[in-house]
Amino acid sequence: MTAARSRDRATWGTVREELRARGMRWTPQRRQILQVLAATDGHITGSELLERCRKLDPATTPSTVYRTLDVLEELGVIRHSHGLDGREEFHVQPVAEHGHLVCSSCGASREIDAAQAAPIARAFRRTHDFDIFLDHLTLAGRCAACRAAQAG
């Protein structure tokens, strides 16, 4: 984990106040989930998060973890996209908005930043009057290496 990629301490600390401001509660379970997320770089699935929480507290239950992920996404603290298998993958914030480009053959994954996605967003805005959510975008396809390997 690098400081550049994860929410800094001060930002994570505001979650408690963001919850209170909405009439929601700060519980030991939520504190622990946030602690694990703060130590996570990049992406994490619900079941991975559950597993890591259970290392700290084996009594952690699935429903609490999944419901907390929903709450945190409503607050904007995390966002999700989907892997090739369709499972949700959560991003900790405030990483720059980005999509993913994944090779169906080898699983290699690259991020698509806002600049790269801008032409696509503009095209659908113009032709369909539709705003694309880059954070939710996963493009599947075949990378150069896999295309070359199969070409023979």
Site for DNA, rule CB under 7 A: 19-20, 23-30, 45-47, 50, 59-64, 66-68, 71, 87-88
Q: Which does 53 bind (CB under 5 to 8 A by kind): DNA, a second copy, Zn ion, none?
A: none
Q: Which two tokens stand for residue 106?
A: 């080898």
**What is the per-residue binding string for a second copy in 111-140, x denoting contact by CB under 8 A?**
-----x--xx--xx--xxxxxxx--xx-xx
Is there a contact between 99 and 137 (Cβ–Cβ < 8 Å)?
Answer: yes
Residue 50 C-beta: closest distance to a second copy, Å:
17
Contacts 24+ apart (CB under 8 A), 122-129: none
- Residue found by looking up tokens 């379970």 in the block: 29
Which one of 1, 67, 82, 94 is in contact with a second copy (CB under 8 A)? 82
DSSP β-ladder status, 78-82 and 98-103 = unpaired
Closer Cβ to DNA, 6 or 32, answer by number: 32
Distance of CA 73 to the CA centre of its chain: 9
Closer Cβ to a second copy, 58 or 129, answer by number: 129
Residue 86 C-beta: closest distance to DNA, Å:
8
Q: Which two tokens stand for residue 51?
A: 């597993």
